[in-house]
Amino acid sequence: MKVVERINEILKEKNLSKKQLANRLIDLGLRANKTGEIPTISSIYAYLNGNIELKADMIPFIAEALGVYEQELFKADSQRILRRFYAQDPTLAKYNHIVELLEYISPKSLETLEKTLISHKNKTIELNQIIQNL
């Protein structure tokens, strides 16, 4: 699912029109990156209809205008990827809640978590080798 499709889903969920979203974006001070000008309603419609590729610098404004976290604009894609991952090994599905929470962790905390998990993995492998040698 493309980000634009997810935005339109959220609009439906929140019972908002594209025009309302466009007005909110303008009120929030969305400006074109190259020109620094406020985009027109019709150019915002072009983004929301998928006629023009969304720019990365628009994502925070769109999320704020919709009242959602930026991650929620990408959530459907991550859910689809997780379903495919769990289909390969259903026992991993029990960790779904942990994986979902990773969306909200800071990059630094994620790096620390990864290092901790790698350390635990290495210690477990080491202990298993010691046990096998007994």
pLDDT digits (tens, 9 = 90+) for 78-94: 666 666 677 777 777 77
Give the pLDDT confidence score for residue 129 in this predicted structure.
94
Residue finishing a domain among 43, 71, 99: 71
- pTM confidence score: 0.55
Provide CB contacts within 8 A for 14, sequence distance 6+. Answer: 66, 67
Q: What confidence tier does 58 reach under pLDDT thresholds 50, 70, 90?
A: confident
pLDDT digits (tens, 9 = 90+) for 89-132: 777 777 777 877 887 788 888 889 999 999 999 999 999 999 99
Give the pLDDT confidence score for residue 119 in this predicted structure.
96
Give the pLDDT confidence score for residue 73 in this predicted structure.
81
Q: Which residues form the domain of 117?
A: 75-133
Residue 62 has pLDDT above 80, yes or no: yes
Q: Do 15 and 64 lie in a common domain?
A: yes
Task: Give dist(CA 40, CA 77) in Å, integer.
Answer: 29
Instruction: Give the 3-state secondary structure of residue 28.
Output: coil
> How do the residues of the chain divide into helix, strand and coil, expressed in percent and rounded to 5?
75, 0, 25
Q: Do 88 and 32 lie in a common domain?
A: no
Residue 77 has pLDDT above 70, yes or no: no
Q: Do 104 and 44 lie in a common domain?
A: no
Distances (CA, A) of 68 to 7, 47, 63, 73, 88: 10, 18, 5, 8, 31
Report, as an integer, the average pLDDT of 1-13: 85
